[in-house]
């Protein structure tokens, strides 16, 4: 089983997440409603790099990750929690 707890504090993850942070210019890519319209969040405070896919943990493609601010990240995991995480062969506390 992939040890996500160890990975999330590793220099390898730091390097991988940095690639995505640079790609997104450190801006949250989450979608929010702004002035009644769906718009990109683009917040730069409290940003995390979220995994869109856990298939390539440790050697993520750029597209396996996305920058999300804490609020959008929480919303995304709330949405994902409704799906079945148990199918994933990783330990918990997903990034």
Residue 47 touching Zn ion (CB under 5 A): no
Comparing CB distances to Zn ion, the nearer of 16 and 43 is: 43
Alpha-carbon span 40 to 66, nearest angstrom? 13
Listed residue (75, 61, 64, 77) closest to 31, CA to CA: 75
Interaction residues for Zn ion, span 54-93 (CB under 5 A): 69, 72
Yes or no: say if 4 and 93 are a contact pair by the CB < 8 Å rule: yes
CB of 11 to Zn ion, least distance (A): 20
Which residues here bind Zn ion, judged by CB under 5 A?
Answer: 28, 30, 41, 43, 50, 69, 72
């Amino acid at each position: 089983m992939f040890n996500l707890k160890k990975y999330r504090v590793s220099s390898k993850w730091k390097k991988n997440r940095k690639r995505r942070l640079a790609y997104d210019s450190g801006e949250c890519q989450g979608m929010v409603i702004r002035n009644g319209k769906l718009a990109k969040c683009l917040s730069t405070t409290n940003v995390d790099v979220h995994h869109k896919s856990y298939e390539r943990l440790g050697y993520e493609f750029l597209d396996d990750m996305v920058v999300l601010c804490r609020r959008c990240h929480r919303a995304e995991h709330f949405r994902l929690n409704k799906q079945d995480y148990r199918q994933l062969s990783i330990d918990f506390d997903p990034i």
